[in-house]
Chains A and B, each alone.
Chain A
Amino acid sequence: MAIAISTDIGGTFTDLVAYDLDTGEIHQAKDYTDPADLSSGIGRCIDKSGLPLGEAPEFTHGSTVAINTAIERTGARTALLVTRGMRDVYEIGRSNRPEAYNLLFRKPVPLVSRELIFEVDERLSARGEVVRPLDEQSVRDAVAAAVNAGATAIAVGTLHSYANPAHEERIGDIVKEVAPQLFLTLSHRILREYREYERISTAAMNSYIGPRVSGYLDELQNVLKTRSFEGRTLIMQSNGGVMIPDIAREEPVMMMESGPVGGVVAAGSLAAEYGIAHAVAFDMGGTTAKAALLRDGAPDIAQGYYVGGFASGIPVRVPVVDVVEVGAGGGSIAHLDVAGALRIGPQSAGGRPGPVCYGWGGTKPTVTDANAVLGRLNPAHFLGGEMGLDVDAAEAAFDAEVGTSLGLSAEHAALAVINIAVNMMGLAVRSVSVERGVDPRDCALIAFGGAGPLHACAVAREVKIPRVIIPMLPGHFSALGMLLADIRHELVRTIYATADGVDADMLTAVAREMSDEVRGMLTTELIEERDQAVELFCDLRYRGQEFTLRTPCTADELRSTDDLEKVRKRFDDLHEIRFGHSSPASTVEIVNLRVVGIGRRERIRPKIGAQSGEVEVTTRRVVSGVGSHASGKDWNIYQREQLPVGYRVTGPAVIEEYASTLVIDEGDVAVIGPDGAIDITIDITGGFDKTGGKA
């Protein structure tokens, strides 16, 4: 029995999804997450599922251990070694105050305290030439001082190490010799790109979370070993790929944002299968809604993000699936501000006390409560009947907190909340489509997460996306995505030259060196050569600009400046698409070379559950519309597991399944596809009402 297994640790639950490579069958298990002993939930899930782990060739795992360590500040006592004169670069940061008017703004709190930051004598120029040779004694002194001060991890970030890593490498050798017990990160190993603060910050983060993540990976492998697992373990990364534990131990920072990524990868795989050129992955959960753009199934990749939010967060410059978030999730609280305007969020009722209708003590009406009040959720059949919904309590909360002051009934207030939430989510979807030069009318929206299907049709209409696809298992999509993710590594190297003046031989040599390095990593991960792929990108900009566009290229196109002309033209086109203007006569600069190594994994094709063929249609009163046009009507209610391939459902209707509910508006038509996904045509041509719903 060959089974691929994935587990995804969330804040409340640990999810397991397993795929039988022979039969296509999918197994699931769920158990609680113990924050003090994260790997124990995995063991319980495995035991619960009864799957023979000893026969499984692969075990894929996504965990929040890295991000939690950073956010809870429970990482290692970390020291930092920097170039003489640069001790405070890390604490000073970029000095910006994104919350410009906030007199009490807090800047990012460094992970390394100033008394643990040490200068070493050395200096390179921007070209990597040695201005001042490395004084090894200054390194030995600094490492000794760090150890004395109780450091258990250390990061090294010297100026211009992206151009010439020799000094950092030598410092690393000395650290290994003098204090081999320290978890060590050399900044250029993680990020060979200019901008010292961001590089040092990323290296410091890697060391800070390193010891705890390593320990966790040891526990995980122990849990698997005691259950006779002998296959390959893979760890989910922020960039949408997976890696082996040995690499995760050295570069734990690569797994920080793996949480929201699994679903995006699964959506990408679906888009590729359907041949959809542009799709938006749309994920709505308890606290936020997330959107990511997929081009030919590949997610847009951002080159960094801020841990803890943009304003006061810590920059981490590693590739991450580019997800745009808005604070409108099922738990987002609807309230009136001091001026009496109806607002949603950013406060969330979270998992506890949760929405009012869950009956766990929540008193503030949420988006989920609005869905309950309007009849969009089945009060008797929530989570497959495992949980009832207290609709009366939700109605009372809307009256008390919102409706009475606005002169609206609870239902009208709830409807207003849904419509505002749809607009907010629409803005997020816009920002990954329209704002990136993609016409939404050529797009499809792939919706998942517990609450994604509830609002997907309205959000699509809001943004004028004509097609919505609800995959199988929308509530377990993230864990499923982990089974679909390829192994993926990205390397970057700052080059800094003009496209017409660059030394093409050097460029080709660097590209080859980087390709060899990434192929070496894939080979270590036991990826056969035929399953390895290497992609090249140049980060280009017009001279004088700062922001670059990641422009695809081939090794052949780097051979001469004449060949590079093709890449440059591609860049002009990308610039035109993204910004609406380009400058084909201007000089173009190459700033970075990027190499992506991909190790392809076997594609899995989940089998669709057998349908009974008997479709039982019930009805329920659902309120829809806007303002004085709003009214309650009996809608048809379907159970997803009963719907056979090719079955058509015309809106308005609701399709229910375990852990998710799909709302189909009037004018929209859903068809069950051959793979079990629900394919919905959205009516974007007809008259809109004011909010994107049909009047």
Chain B
Amino acid sequence: MTDEIPTPEQDSMLDRMRERLIPDGLPVDDRGRMRLVVDSLILHLHPTKVPVTAMNWTHSWGLGGLSALLMAVLGLTGVVLQNNYTPAAPQAYLDILEINSNVWFGELVRNLHHWSANLLIVVAVLHLIRVFATGAYRPPRELNWLVGVAMLLLVVAANFTGYLLPWDQLAFWAITVGTSIINYVPLIGNWMGKLILGGPEVGANTLLNFYSMHISLIPLMIFGLMMYHFWRVRKDGGLTLPKKLDQVDEPKVERVTTIPHLVRRELVFAIGAFSLLLIFAMLVPAPLEGIANPDISPNPAKAPWYFMGLQELLLHFHPLVGAIILPGLAILGIFLLPFFDINLNSVGIYFRSHRGRSLTLLGIGMALILTPLWVLLDEFVLHWSLWLPTWDTLLSNGLIPLAIVLVPIILLDEWTVRSFHADTEERVLFISTFLFTAFVVLTIIGIFFRGPGMALYWAWNMPAATH
């Protein structure tokens, strides 16, 4: 029994662990780098090689990636915030005070969560605009456009449900005003409102309902759709390639390996973006007002900022028109865009063509002039419900103002056809640009130019709100 069994030459434990993680060692050549992308769970979201021009900074602006980064920040900060939060009134508010004052880095984490959430809405909308402007939703990418718009709606839902959680005056009344809109849905509005609020008005049940939606159902759905969205990007052949104006032939494709060219860019971009976000969150605290008091409405009571365009519409239209029909049609239109705007020749060209670019500027310009004029006209001159007191308010305050808005839009469309000989894709571009700019103007008016009693004031001469 003296024969020794020869032991295999053994690496140290650390070496064996590394061996398990990266069997072939770090890649040294392109072949190895491509292999690594294929073998890795996360990296294989990318192809092994990417077209050089698809990485152009000024083509995609990194907006999709930035959205994903913000989702990751929101997920992480959200998970840790839960450890110091109780979804009950009034404890929720006391917990926020505790997070802000007594939890290590609590205020920073809350600020990060708050500002990422608000930034995500802006970035997701910019992402949508980029895809629209380069015609990147056209076949075969229609389905991914639908998924993207669905995610945008979910992001708004996530933001809205999160808005209530601090349980301060700001949260309470923004959600009260925001959810009251539901009651105007014909027939089932009251019932739906009660179901969502867990009672006839915002209260303890609402807080619990919103919390549950905010931390489980909505993030789960967004995560699922995100994975599908990424997968579809690859299925549909990656990003659209940038094209120059008047470029007829398909762009020449030169490819480089994903590692290091794409991965390095993404890493640098993510670190840069996160650093700026972190600095911002350190410097600017998330708002927090006094504890929610159902007896006292602040004056003015405003919905969350991204709904201020909608609230502005409500000041001009009967709620059925302003809060249900117009937004419903807008969302339907956005969903349907890739099914009637299908010219494949201009995919990858910003704003389609020379004429497209002029029409875009024209659309923005017209909306910048006409929208404030219309707001002033409707506020101070037109009083249909006073002039036609016997008419149903749905007519006098709904359909008549709607006609007043629709007629100029139809005339503008007619004008682009007659004077500019715009084709279908250019008309879609013009009308979409016009309507979107008008919505942004309404939002800005709602946020900055509406004061006590929702009267118009100059933004720099705004009386203080009362609470």
Say if A and B assemble together.
no
Q: Which residues of A contact B (CB under 8 A)?
A: none
